[in-house]
Amino acid sequence: MTHTDSIPDLILAQRVPPLQALLRRYGLTTHWVPDGAPIPGSFWGAPEAGVIGTELHLRQDTPLHSALHEACHVICMDPQRRAGLHTDAGGDYAEEDAVCYLQIVLADHLPGVGGARLCADMDAWGYTFRLGSAAVWFAQDAEDARAWLLRHGLLQADGAPTWTLRGA
């Protein structure tokens, strides 16, 4: 049994066909691996998404929040780290917060998902936030993450994504 099996209501990446088009806007590609196979570039192991360069590796049981989280690591990291990226995205706490913020923003651009639902999935999976939930963190405690994304040109002033990679 995988962690995904124990949380049956999580949205899986394969159930959101617009995900691939959204990621292509950033120049990211998705690769689907067979059921039961190891996921290349997965830091935590299957069913978590894997990253190698600008390639996102997924399986049918990969949760959407995992796919978005790893994609947002690629988006948020500087070009030098991105060029050598394999499995471990690294980064500091400020970047990790920005990754979490951006994945919630991007969920609003996926029909049938939205930020509120992604926050619920993040909470169910076990993300931890100082205020107790992803939604409360996003609404009340994420100004530093938003400012980080603005400073690096990844969000517009109105909060919309710029659809560019950091440093591109």
Q: Which tens digit of pLDDT belongs to each residue from 37-91? A: 999 999 999 999 999 999 999 999 999 999 999 999 999 999 999 999 999 999 9
Q: Which two tokens stand for residue 123?
A: 């909470």
> What is the pTM for the complete model shown?
0.93
Contact (CB, 8 A) for 52 and 85: yes
Rounded distance between C-alpha atoms, residue 65 and residue 24, angstroms: 17
Report how many domains make up the chain.
1
pLDDT for 5 beyond 70: no
Q: Considering the domain boundaries, does residue 87 fall inside one?
A: yes
Q: Considering the domain boundaries, does residue 32 fall inside one?
A: yes
Reported as half-sphere exposure (CB side, CA atoms, 13 A), residue 145 has a value of 22
Residue with tokens 């996926």: 110
Q: Considering the domain boundaries, does residue 168 fall inside one?
A: no
Q: Considering the domain boundaries, does residue 162 fall inside one?
A: no
Q: How far is CA 45 from CA 48, 77, 110, 127, 164, in A?
A: 6, 21, 25, 17, 28
**CB neighbours (10 Å) of residue 119?**
24
Q: Considering the domain boundaries, does residue 146 fall inside one?
A: yes
The domain of 42 spans 3-151
Q: Considering the domain boundaries, does residue 164 fall inside one?
A: no
Q: How does pLDDT run across 96-140, given as a tens digit for each residue?
A: 999 999 999 999 999 999 999 999 999 998 887 777 899 999 999
Contact (CB, 8 A) for 35 and 59: yes
Q: Considering the domain boundaries, does residue 166 fall inside one?
A: no
